[in-house]
């Protein structure tokens, strides 16, 4: 395996988390695990994956979302030597794991991926890889 963990945090964005997981499933290569930290929420049932899923929850007594604490917790529960942090609303390109793994093998550094923004209508349960292509022509994405 690649010894890669993908880390994400979420609160009240269940559809986004489900789509993030579906995107990782569709990747050409998979991470060894997905580390999820829920903030003031609980982990929902996720589909079967070809990679392990680890989770933890952080609950506060108010509406404050402890973003930094949650990211640190995700890194702490992850066992991979290489960590890829994805926002919960990210859908991974099918080559994401391979690209990051290649660069991390070349040099131990901090890398930031390219981001494209999807049109608000993409938020459907049965999205496909065409969702990125649909957004490109609508002026809402970055080239």
Question: 91: domain CATH number?
Answer: 3.90.550.10
Asked whether residue 107 falls in the same domain as residue 121, the answer is no
Supply the pLDDT for residue 118: 66
Pick from 104, 2, 42, 32: nearest CA to 17? 42
Checking if the pLDDT of 130 tops 60, the result is: no
Give the integer Cα–Cα distance in Å for 85 and 10. 12
Asked whether residue 107 falls in the same domain as residue 52, the answer is yes
The pLDDT tens digits for 45-94 are 888 999 999 999 999 888 788 999 999 999 999 999 999 999 998 888 88
Asked whether residue 62 falls in the same domain as residue 126, the answer is no
Asked whether residue 103 falls in the same domain as residue 128, the answer is no
Instruction: Give the chain's end-to-end CA distance (angstroms, integer).
Output: 32
Asked whether residue 108 falls in the same domain as residue 138, the answer is no
**Banded pLDDT at 137 (limits 50, 70, 90):** very low
Q: Where are the beta strands (DSSP E) in the chain?
A: 4-10, 33-39, 52-58, 82-85
Predicted structure pTM score? 0.83
Asked whether residue 75 falls in the same domain as residue 139, the answer is no
Using an 8 Å Cβ cutoff, are 140 and 119 in contact? yes
Number of domains in the chain: 2
Mean pLDDT along residues 94-114: 88
Asked whether residue 62 falls in the same domain as residue 122, the answer is no
Question: Domain range holding 124?
Answer: 115-143
Asked whether residue 9 falls in the same domain as residue 61, the answer is yes
Asked whether residue 102 falls in the same domain as residue 133, the answer is no
């Amino acid at each position: 395996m690649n010894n890669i963990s993908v880390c994400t945090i979420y609160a009240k964005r269940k559809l986004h988390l489900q789509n993030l997981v579906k995107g990782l499933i569709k990747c050409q290569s998979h991470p060894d695990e997905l580390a999820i930290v829920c903030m003031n929420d609980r982990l929902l049932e996720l589909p079967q994956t070809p990679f392990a899923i680890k989770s933890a929850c952080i609950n506060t007594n108010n509406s404050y979302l402890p973003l930094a604490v949650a990211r640190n917790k995700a890194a702490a529960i992850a066992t991979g030597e290489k960590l890829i942090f994805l926002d919960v609303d990210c859908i991974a390109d099918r080559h994401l794991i391979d690209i990051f793994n290649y660069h991390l093998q070349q040099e131990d550094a901090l890398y930031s991926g390219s981001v494209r923004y999807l049109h608000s209508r993409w938020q459907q349960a049965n999205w496909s890889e065409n969702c990125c292509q649909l957004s490109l022509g609508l002026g809402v994405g970055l080239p």
